[in-house]
């Protein structure tokens, strides 16, 4: 049986220009390499799965390349690059601080630092989850981090920058990685689907991108899971069903019923949602997000703030034109109060139902005010 390689590893970027959504980081690193202005230590901060370790490995490969291009990219042909690509390079040392956080672990690393590289110019030490080091380990590392040998470069990666002591922060150049935009994740998923000959619906990929919440590795994992479930044919319906995501059609229908003061249909839709196993709290939060998206869609200038597909943007824009701004503002305030009160409520279903009925009454009161004015 052929060994399966997950997409996050199989399509892991090998060059700076293939890193997704972190151009502010990659451009800076490429400029530092071409201008030969390399710091002794870097700190990569940011959420999980956004490319911190990937960028660290690409940086280690590029600074050891014998023929770096004018654009700051590695050649992928020299002996050093080939050894990096094959995983046999001795110039890169990775330490997982989550499981190697003692003073002895750091002392072992410090002992290795004094040895010069056998091939290439630099030895790069990548310490992942560096915030997990003990205070004693941090202190044992300070002097080496401040004045390492010329051939040694340190890259520290962390998801929790606030846990790192100031004396470490002051010795590093700090790079803050962003959550990756939904559009960027969606484009990368398209690339994966085409590379793997997977049929897909654009909305299915958008749901996966939204579910990943800014983490590309999470998106790749969900993508692999969905392929296993759907058999190389990603449809919106199957993805929503398998990920247990509430179909946005429900929110569009409920909003239409608000405008029509159709209380019975609203109650029936809410009951249907609960019978499908969806959490009432998540539903009301999702309704708040939907109404917020409608408010944003009121103006063409802010329409770009929506992290959804183009077809869905048009749908939001159409419903936004039929929905009063005053209703949206009052509705969002009501939903916000319901969200705050949900956990302390004794009868949580009744709380949500009352909120839905009040939202219906909001539109009725708006209509009544208009009639009086006329």
Report the sign of the C-alpha dihedral through residues 239, 241, 242, 248, in that order: positive
Closest CA to 93 of 50, 124, 72, 69: 124
- State which H helix or E strand residue 108 sits in: helix 103-113
Cα 92 to Cα 89: distance, rounded to the nearest angstrom: 6
The angle that helices 310-321 and 202-212 make with each other, rounded to 10 degrees, is 80
The whole-number pLDDT of residue 171 equals 84
Cα 355 to Cα 367: distance, rounded to the nearest angstrom: 19
Cα 195 to Cα 218: distance, rounded to the nearest angstrom: 19
Distances (CA, A) of 94 to 13, 79, 106, 140: 18, 21, 12, 18
Other residues' Cβ atoms within 10 Å of the Cβ of residue 345: 14
Architecture of domain 7-176: 3-Layer(aba) Sandwich (3.40)
Sheet holding 173-176, edge to edge: 92-96, 123-128, 152-158, 41-45, 173-176
The whole-number pLDDT of residue 1 equals 38
Cβ-based neighbours of 204, under 8 Å, separated by 6 or more: 226, 234, 235, 236, 238, 239
Cα 268 to Cα 262: distance, rounded to the nearest angstrom: 10
Cα 139 to Cα 160: distance, rounded to the nearest angstrom: 18
Is 1.20.120.550 the CATH number for 182-243?
no
The whole-number pLDDT of residue 365 equals 54
Architecture of domain 248-365: Up-down Bundle (1.20)
Cα 108 to Cα 350: distance, rounded to the nearest angstrom: 61
Cα 308 to Cα 295: distance, rounded to the nearest angstrom: 15
Report the sign of the C-alpha dihedral through residues 291, 296, 299, 304, in that order: negative
Distances (CA, A) of 334 to 346, 349, 360: 19, 16, 12
With 0-12 / 13-18 / 19 or more C-beta atoms within 10 angstroms meaning exposed / middle / buried, residue 332 is: middle
The whole-number pLDDT of residue 371 equals 52
Q: Which two tokens stand for residue 163?
A: 């846990």
Cα 109 to Cα 95: distance, rounded to the nearest angstrom: 9
Low-confidence ranges of the chain (pLDDT < 70): 1-3, 363-374
Cα 98 to Cα 100: distance, rounded to the nearest angstrom: 6
pTM of the model: 0.76
The domain locations on the chain are 7-176, 182-243, 248-365
Return the residue matching tokens 């002992």.
111
């Amino acid at each position: 049986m052929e060994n399966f390689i997950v997409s996050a590893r199989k399509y892991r970027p090998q060059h700076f220009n293939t890193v997704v959504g972190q151009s502010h980081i990659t451009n800076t690193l490429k400029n530092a390499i071409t201008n030969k202005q390399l710091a002794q230590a870097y700190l990569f901060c940011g959420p999980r799965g956004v490319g911190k370790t990937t960028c660290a490995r690409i940086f280690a490969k590029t600074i050891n390349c014998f023929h770096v291009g004018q654009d700051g990219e590695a050649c992928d042909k020299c002996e050093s690059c080939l050894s990096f690509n094959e995983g046999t390079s001795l110039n890169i040392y990775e330490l997982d601080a989550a499981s190697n956080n003692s003073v002895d672990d750091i002392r072992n690393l410090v002992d290795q630092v004094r040895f010069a590289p056998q091939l290439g110019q630099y030895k790069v030490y990548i310490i992942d989850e560096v915030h997990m080091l003990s205070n004693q380990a941090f202190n044992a590392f300070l002097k080496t981090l401040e004045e390492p040998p010329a051939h040694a470069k340190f890259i520290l990666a962390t998801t929790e920058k606030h846990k790192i002591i100031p004396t470490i922060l002051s010795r590093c150049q700090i790079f803050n990685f962003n959550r990756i935009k939904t559009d960027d994740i969606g484009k990368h998923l398209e690339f994966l689907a085409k590379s793997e000959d997977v049929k897909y619906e654009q909305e299915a990929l958008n749901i996966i991108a939204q579910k990943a919440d800014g983490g590309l590795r999470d998106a790749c994992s969900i993508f692999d899971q969905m392929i296993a479930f759907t058999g190389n044919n990603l449809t919106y319906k199957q993805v929503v069903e398998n990920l247990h995501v509430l179909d946005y059609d429900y929110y569009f229908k409920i909003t239409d019923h608000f405008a029509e003061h159709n209380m019975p249909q609203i109650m029936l839709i809410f009951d249907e949602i609960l019978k499908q196993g969806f959490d009432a709290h998540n539903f009301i939060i999702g309704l708040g997000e939907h109404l917020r998206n409608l408010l944003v869609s009121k103006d063409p200038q802010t329409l770009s703030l929506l992290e959804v597909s183009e077809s869905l943007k048009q749908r939001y824009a159409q419903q936004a034109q039929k929905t009063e701004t005053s209703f949206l503002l009052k509705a969002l305030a009501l939903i916000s109060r319901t969200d705050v009160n949900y956990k302390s409520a004794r009868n949580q279903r009744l709380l949500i139902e009352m909120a839905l009925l009040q939202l219906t009454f909001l539109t009725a009161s708006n209509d009544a005010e208009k009639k009086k004015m006329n």
